[in-house]
Amino acid sequence: MNQTILLLPHIASIFLMLKICTSLDTIALYQNIIDGETIVSGNEKFELGFFSPGSSKNRYVGIWFKNTSPNVVVWVANRDTPLNNTLGMVKLDNQGILSIVNDDGKAIWSSNSFVSFTNVSPIAQLSDSGNLVIKDENTVIWQSFDYPGDTYMYGMKLGKNLITGREMKLTSWKSADDPSTGEYTLSIVMQDNSYPQVYIKKSYPQVYIETRIGPYDGTEFAGQPNYKHSPDHTYTVEMVVRQNETYFHTSNLTTISLMATLNPSGKLDVLQLNNRNYKWMTDHTIPVDYCDNYGLCGPYGSCSTATSPTCECLKGFELKSPQPNPDNSTSGCTRTRGLDCGPGEGFLTFSSMKLPDTQNAVFNASLSLQECEVACKDNCACTAYANPNKTAGGVGCLLWFGDLIDVRVYSQNGQDLHVRLAAIELSALALLFGVAYACIKKNKRPRMKGRGNWYALHKKNTHVQIEDLDDLPFFSLHKIARATNNFSINNKIGEGGFGPVYKGVLEDGQVVAMKRLSDSSKQGLDEFKNEVICIAKLQHRNLVKLLGYCIHGNEMILIYEYMANKSLDTILFDETVSLTLDWPRRFNIIQGMARGILYLHQDSRLQIIHRDLKAGNILLDDQMNPKISDFGLARKFVGSDSAATTKKVVGTYGYIAPEYAVHGRFSIKSDVFSFGVLVLEIVSGKKNREFTHKDHSDNLLGHAWRLYKDGRTIELMNASLHNSCSVSEVLRAIHVALLCVQHHANDRPTMLSVVLMLVSEGVLPKPKQPAFFTGDSDSEGQCASSVEEYMITQFYAR
C-alpha cells in the first residue's frame, strides 16, 4: 500500500484510466499519503483519472461513468487550470487536501478544504454515486458533489450553503473540447420570502436569463416533462430548507442511471442509460420549445405553442405595439382598463398556466387561497395571486407585485393564476356569467312558454356574447354536409341516445365529430343556443371541446374535436387492443379523468354533476389523453316532458351510487363513486357490471374489497400490466378507488382530495366497506334498465 506512484497520463488515449491499485477493495481512491504518493482507481460504476477531451491536448483530472458509451465525464477537478503536458500527479496530503501537481511540483488545483485538521488520517473515496469524498474517520472534509460542474447526478444538491455562502449550481463547459467555465449557469433562485424556481442564465457578454424552469409546485418544476409516466424512472424532487442550507435534491430514484448536463450551448440535456447496451440516450432537453424562451411575450403576454402567433395578451390586456415582431415575440401588453384600486376590482382566473416569474412575488405559506385573494385585493400594488404548491392542499399564497413575466399556457400540468382586473373589465364578464346563470336557472325549471326578462336580454345579446366571448363559431349546414359527404352512412361513427354521430373533415383539413340531434327532439332554437353557451363555457383539457354549432331549419348539430381513439370502453375491455394500454397510460387516464371531474365539480364557474361517468363516456385522443364527454346534452332529446324526466334517476347501472339509485339523491359524491368504479375497471380490465368470480357472487367492487382486506390488493391488477406497472401507483390507485366507492356519500373524498391523493406519497385513510351490489340484489332500483343510456346534467350556481 505504500507504493510511490507518479502518474504519467498518456497522450494518445482520450480516456485513459490508470488502474494502479486493482487489488484494493471497492474503495476507490484510498491512501494515507505523504507528498508524492497517490493511488487512483475506480469503483464499479465510476472511474477517476486523467483525460483529454475531444481534440484538446490539455490534461484534466475527472470522474466519468465506466463502460458506457459515449464516455461521459461528469465532473472535472481542474477545469480552469489544465496540465499542458503529460506529467502530473494527484496527491492527498495529511491535512486531507487533495491536489493536482504539475511537473514543476506546483499545485495547479486543490480541494481547498476550509477545515484544517491535524493528526488525521484522511482517505479519499470515489463512492458508488460518483462522489469523490475526502474524509477523516466519519467526518466529511470535502466532497466533489459540493462543487458541481456541468452535470447533475442523483444524490447531488443544488442550492446554497448558508454558512459558507457557497452556491451549488451547474456551469456549462466552454465547448465539447474545453471543460473550462462556460457561458451558461443553471441555478436555483430561492430568495427570502420568494418562491423557488430555476434559471438557466447566460453570463457573457452580460447576464441574461435564457430559460426559467418552475416554479416548484411541491413535487416538480413546472416545465420539466414528468418522469412519473415512466415506471423505470420515478423520482421526487425535494426541497430542503434548514438553518444552515437550502437546496433541492432528487430522492427515491428507481435507478441512478439518470443525469442532467448543461451543455455548452446552454441547454439542459437529461440523459438516461439504456441498461442493455450501456448507451446514454437523451430523454429530453430544456428548453423544451419556443415558449421556453424567457419572457418571450413580454409583460402580461402569454405564450402558447398551440396558437399562431405564439404570443397573446392575457384577457383584459392589449398589445403595447399593435404588431408582434417577426420572431413572434412581443414587447408586451398593457391593461385595456387601468386599475384604480376601487372596491369593484377583482380577479380573473387563468387555468393551466406556467406561473409568472416569482422574482417579484412574495410567498406566505400559511394563507389559504381565499385569504390569499383578500391579501392581494387589500394591497393596491398586488397584480396577481396563486397557490403554487400542489401538495399543500390549497394552502400557500404567492402574491405578485409588478409585471407578470414569462407566462405560458400548458396543455397539461399547468396551474391556476388569478390576475387583478379593473371593475369594468370584470363586469363585462359578469354579464356573460349572468347569462349563463340565467340559463342554469331556466334549465332547472319546467319548460315554460313565457320566458320573461331573461329572454329579452338573450335575444338582444346572445349573438354578441357568443362571438365576443366564446369565439364559438357557427357552421353553415352546407359546410357540414360537405364535411360529412351529405351525412353519408360511411361517415357515421356512432349513435348517441339523441341521434347519430358523424366524423367529418372540414375544408381546412381539421377532423371533427358532429352530433346531430334527431328530428324527434322538440327543443326550440333558443334553448339550443342557450345550451351551447353553457357548454362552451366548459373548457378543460380533460373535457371534450365543443368547436361550433349549426342551426338550420330543423337541423341542430354540435361540432366537437374528433377523438382518434374512440371511447375508453372500446379499448379497455378488448382483450387484444387493451394490451396497448400499459400502466403509465392507464395512470395518465385515471389522473386526467380526475382532473376533468374536479373541474366540473369545483373549478368551472358552474358546479356540474355529470351523473353518467362511465367508460363509454371517456373519449381518448390520439395521445391517449382522456376527455370526458356527453354532459349537458341530454335535455335536448327528452322531448316535451322535461319536467317529469328531470325527476327520474338517470345514469348507467354499474356506475351509479347507491343513494342515488335508491333515493334519487345525487351530489358530487355520486360522481366520485362512478369515478371509483372506473378506476377499478381500468386497473383490472373488467367491467363492474359483468364481473363474475368462481368463489363468490360479488361484483368488481366487492371483489376489490375482499382482496384489499386480505392484503392481496395487487391481485386486482390485470395480468397484462405486470411489465409496465409501478406497484406503488397501482396500489395507490386501487386504494383511492376504494375510498371513492364507500357506501356513505359523506365518507367519500372530494375530487380535489382524489387528485391530490393520486399524486402524493402520503399515507391514505383506510376505506370502509364499499357499496356493492351483488348480481341478484334488487337494490339497484329504478336505474336498472329503462334509463340506462341517457342522462341529464343539472347545473348548479355556486
The C-alpha cell 390549497 sits at 394
DSSP string, 200-218: EEE-SSS-EEEEEE--B-S
Q: Which is closer to ligand NAG, CB of 68 or CB of 81?
A: 81
Residue nearer to ligand NAG on the CB measure, 90 or 571: 571
Q: Which residue has the cell 405560458?
A: 408
Q: Nine-digit cell at 556? A: 341542430
Whether residue 406 lies in the annotated active site: no
Least distance between ligand NAG and beta carbon 166 (Å): 9
Other C-beta atoms within 10 Å of 382: how many? 21
Q: How far apart are CA 630 and CA 613, in angstroms?
A: 9
* Minimum CB distance to ligand NAG smaller for 281 or for 564: 564
Nearer residue to ligand NAG within complex by CB, 42 or 616: 616
Q: Please, are residues 542 and 595 in contact by the beta-carbon 8 Å criterion?
A: yes
Nearest approach, Cβ of 570 to ligand NAG (angstroms)?
8
Q: Give the integer Cα–Cα distance in Å for 548 and 687.
A: 34
Least distance to ligand NAG from the beta carbon of 611, Å? 25
568 grid coordinates: 375508453
3-state helix, strand, coil in the chain (%, to 5): 25, 30, 45
| Whole-angstrom distance, CA of residue 359 vs CA of residue 350 | 20
Q: Which is nearer to ligand NAG, 46 or 221 (CB)?
A: 221
CB of 89 to ligand NAG, least distance (A): 12
Residue 70 is given by DSSP the state S
Grid-cell match 351525412, residue found: 487
Amino acid identity of residue 67, one-letter, is N
| C-alpha triplet 11, 12, 13: angle, nearest 5° | 105
Q: Which residue is closest to ligand NAG by CB? A: 685
**What angle in degrees, to the nearest 10, is found between the helix axes of 583-598 and 751-759?**
150
Determine the Cα angle at 748 with ends 757 and 668, to 5°. Answer: 100
Residue 523 or 718: the one with the smaller Cβ distance to ligand NAG is: 718
Q: Which is nearer to ligand NAG, 133 or 534 (CB)?
A: 133
Backbone angles phi, psi at 322, to 5 degrees: -65, -30
**Binding footprint of ligand NAG on the chain (CB under 6 A):** 81, 83-84, 102, 108, 161, 163, 193, 216, 218, 236, 238-239, 242, 244-245, 251-252, 308-309, 327-328, 364-367, 389, 391-392, 396, 481, 485-486, 564-565, 571-573, 575, 577-578, 580, 622, 684-686, 718-720, 761
- CB 251 to ligand NAG: min, Å: 5
Task: Give how far Cα 271 sits from Cα of 211, 268, 678, Å.
Answer: 19, 9, 36
Q: Minimum distance between the CB of residue 630 and ligand NAG, rounded to whole angstroms?
A: 20
* Pairing between β-strand 382-386 and β-strand 395-401 as defined by DSSP bridges: antiparallel
Least separation, in Å, of the C-beta of 95 and ligand NAG? 20
Q: How many CB atoms lie within 10 A of CB 579?
A: 13
- Kindly report whether the peptide bond that precedes residue 658 is cis, defined as omega within 30 degrees of 0: no
Selecting among 150, 612, 630, 698, the annotated active-site residue is: 612
**For cell 334488487, what's the residue?**
778
Q: Which is nearer to ligand NAG, 230 or 391 (CB)?
A: 391
Helix (H, G, I), strand (E, B) or coil at 602: helix
Residue with cell 430514484: 253
58 versus 667: smaller Cβ distance to ligand NAG: 58
Q: What is the CA radius of gyration of the chain?
A: 31
Query: Which residues touch 362 (CB under 8 Å, ≥6 apart)?
Result: 193, 194, 398, 399, 401
Q: Between 196 and 749, whose beta carbon lies closer to ligand NAG?
A: 196
Least separation in angstroms between CB 455 and ligand NAG: 36
637: left (phi over 0), alpha (psi -120 to 50) or beta: alpha
Q: Which amino acid is at 99?
A: S
Q: How far is the CB of 575 from ligand NAG (least distance, A)?
A: 4
Angle, helices 583-598 vs 668-684, to 10°: value is 170
CB of 792 to ligand NAG, least distance (A): 30
Rounded Cα–Cα distance for residues 9 and 61 (Å): 10
Residue for grid cell 361517415: 491
* Cα gap 226→207, rounded to integer Å: 29
- Shortest CA distance to 399 belongs to which of 414, 381, 415? 381
Nearest distance from C-beta of residue 768 to ligand NAG, angstroms = 26
Residues in the chain: 798
Residue 211 or 718 having the CB closest to ligand NAG = 718
The answer to whether 451 and 481 have CB atoms below 8 angstroms apart is no
Evaluate whether 29 touches 17 at the Cβ level (below 8 Å). Answer: no
Nearest alpha-carbon partner for 396 in 195, 159, 598, 603: 195
Residue among 252 and 349 whose Cβ is closer to ligand NAG: 252
CA distance 619 to 503: 14
CB of 16 to ligand NAG, least distance (A): 19
Which residues are designated catalytic? 612
